[in-house]
Amino acid sequence: MSSDPTSISGDLPLLDAAEHPELLPPAVHAALPAGARVCAIDPEVADTAALVEAHGVSLEASGNCVVVAGKREGEERVAACVVLATTRADVNSAVRKALGVRKASFLPVERATAETGMEFGGITPVGLPDGWRVLVDTAVAQAEWVLIGSGVRGSKLVVRGADVAALPGAEVADIAIGR
């Protein structure tokens, strides 16, 4: 993988994310890792497959973030899971075990968006509520750069994989299937 973040962004121009708060929710802007880039996109192509087709972004360097929850002894355990777009989160096994619950499920859309303050299809591990766990797949942590959601459907972030792994609440684990 290249040390140049533009190598994964296809034809999308990358901007210094810190200098473009208008493209990000306030909580995401406040939590940006150093060197993060942002690109404006048409919200209609925010889903990974559509973005890859429309702009030639790297599928192998694109990441997806899903929010899951489970209960143990009456206590709910919530986590955001970040995996490469070429895989999917192993919710029924690896994620469930990491959360220490018998059953893990995707958080309902309305609740995920309300609690994160982000748009569905744009949820990102950057700027999540305090105390949330962030399960980062090993492949994401090892990626030089990864293109992820920005909190809104009208932009994407490009950040170092190591920075995703260093976010508050982050834990690196093998949580993806389909490699």
The residues, ordered by sequence, that sit 6+ positions from 66 with a Cβ below 8 Å of its Cβ are 80, 81, 89, 91, 106, 123
Q: What is the pLDDT of residues 129-143, one digit of tens each?
A: 999 999 999 999 999
Q: What is the DSSP letter of 18?
A: G
Residue 3 above 80 pLDDT?
Answer: no
Give the start-to-end residue ranges of the domains of the chain: 5-177
Q: What is the pLDDT of residues 10-40, one digit of tens each?
A: 999 999 999 999 999 999 999 999 999 999 9
Q: Do 178 and 89 meet the contact criterion of CB atoms below 8 Å apart?
A: no
CATH architecture of 5-177: Alpha-Beta Complex (3.90)
Q: What is the pLDDT of residues 105-161, one digit of tens each?
A: 999 999 999 999 999 999 999 999 999 999 999 999 999 999 999 999 999 999 999
Question: What is the pLDDT confidence band of residue 179, given thresholds at 50, 70 and 90?
Answer: low
CA distance 95 to 99: 6
CA distance 125 to 145: 15
